Amino acid sequence: MTDVLTEVRARLDEHFTAAGITAEPVSASVTFLGAESIEVLRYGPDEDGVYRYVSLGCSRYPMIDPTEVIADQTAGPRAEVVVALRGPTPTGLARSVAVVAAAPAVEGLVLGADALVDLETPLWERTAFTAVLLGVSDIGDVELAAPLEPVTVLSATPITATEAAWVRLKGAEAMREAWRVDGVDVLNPGRPAAQPR
């Protein structure tokens, strides 16, 4: 049986080494009642002072819609999530990354690009960000031995409750377009909420 997490970790190390980040990542492990632990790896900083916080553990099992009856437990999409932020590590961020990564196992969520995951609580201390908007990251899929589906590493952009409401109303791409138009730096942990029109 393929050790999925070993494969994912090797792919992450390869990706960040190629990007010039050669230091061993700092690791934090978060455990939830009734679920296996999720590791959060901090890679960086890169030359722009950006750190990437990547989950490792979500892809241990395929994500399965709990309403579906599936006999084959190897079938289904697999994912991990990455949050990119500039500057020092905010207190509590690792736990929030782990909460998002544990959502498929704990709540039966299937994570995918353009999905909104609302934690309804601050992602870290003294912040207005309470949700993440998932998207395609620059980390390529991790191919696994058949019949396992590849692991997709999804970007998770922190957003405010106001922005989350906008995503529900207009969609993920409309939110990204508003950020582009307004020149919003989503890597800035202290950025104000976008005011889409």
pLDDT, one tens digit per residue, over 42-51 is 999 999 999 9
Give pLDDT, residue 69.
62
Predicted TM-score of the model (pTM): 0.94
122 Cβ contact list (under 8 Å, min separation 6): 92, 128, 129, 130
Question: Nearest 5°: phi and psi at 84?
Answer: -110, 125
pLDDT for residue 146: 86
pLDDT beneath 50: ranges in the chain: 1
pLDDT per position as a tens digit, 120-156? 999 999 999 999 999 999 999 999 998 899 999 999 9
Q: CA-CA distance, 30 to 96, in Å (whole number)?
A: 10
CB atoms within 10 A of CB 148: 19
